[in-house]
Amino acid sequence: MAKQENWIAPSILSADFAQLGTDVKDVIAAGADVVHFDVMDNHYVPNLTIGPLVCESLKNFMVKEGVNAPVDAHLMVKPVSRIIGDFASAGADFITFHPEASEHIDGDLGSIKNAGLKAGLVFNPATSLSYLEHVMDKIDMILIMSVNPGFGGQSFIPQALEKLKAARQLIDASGRDIRLEIDGGVKVENIAEVAAAGCDTFVSGSGIFGKANASDANRYDTVIQQMRDELAKAK
């Protein structure tokens, strides 16, 4: 399957949680495509963030305000099984989880698919892509971590580029519509190189929200446009 249209996915981990709805509305209006929603449990990863209640109220706000973008729930939660249904009910469009956080990877992917959502697996820097071998038929998204999960603002681990290339080959060989996403340390400065490695879905937290903290509704336009210009160069 050829590379899909590029999607920019701001990670709301770096948004202002006191005005989350407004930040999401403004960043999508600035041209971003997906809301990347990081869920951390202080167990699988050493940080604690937001859960299904926040997902539901954000989704309700988006519907009310006419903000049209999928919510991509990245679950850094162990065990992951029980919480999948909560995120499906809360309006998530994609659910991805880490294979190390699941006792039954095939079953958890199946629960996401049965709920009518898109499903994906997330690969930490040292985690092998071999987890994909017997479940490719249930995969809609492969997320390659280019940092160790837990915090925004870390530096991009360059070995992720080789992993992206390997994942791109697996996707192409499968002939399926599977998004290839990167997460961690993605900024205007390196997004072209990431795209050239085969990525089509670019999570960026501090690279987008860290650029602007004014309450100007246009504050994200410049950075999103710069990312688009870099992506155009990588074609």
Q: Would you name the residues annotated as active-site residues? A: 38, 183
Minimum distance from CB of 35 to ligand DX5 (Å)?
A: 11
Picked from Zn ion, ligand DX5, none, the partner binding residue 205 (CB below 5 to 8 A depending on kind) is ligand DX5
User: Whose Cβ is closer to ligand DX5: residue 174's or residue 206's?
Assistant: 206
With a CB cutoff of 8 Å and minimum separation 6, the contacts of 126 are: none
Binding site for ligand DX5 (CB under 6 A): 11, 13-14, 36, 38, 74, 147, 149-150, 152-154, 183-186, 203-207
What is the number of the residue whose Cβ is closest to Zn ion? Answer: 74
Choosing among ligand DX5, Zn ion, none, which partner's interface includes residue 91 (Cβ < 5 to 8 Å by kind)?
none
Report the nearest approach of Zn ion to the CB of residue 40 (Å).
9
Alpha-carbon span 159 to 146, nearest angstrom: 8
Q: Which is nearer to ligand DX5, 117 or 143 (CB)?
A: 143
CA 63: distance to chain centroid?
A: 20
**DSSP characters over 34-45:** -EEEEEEBSSSS
Instruction: Please choose, from the candidates 123, 119, 124, the residue with its C-alpha nearest in 3D space to the C-alpha of residue 136.
Output: 119
Measured distance CA(160)–CA(209) in Å, rounded: 23
Residue at token pair 């997902």: 55
Q: Which is nearer to Zn ion, 33 or 38 (CB)?
A: 38
96 DSSP β-pair partners: 74, 120
168 binds, among Zn ion, ligand DX5, none (CB under 5 to 8 A by kind): none
Binding site for Zn ion (CB under 5 A): 38, 74, 183
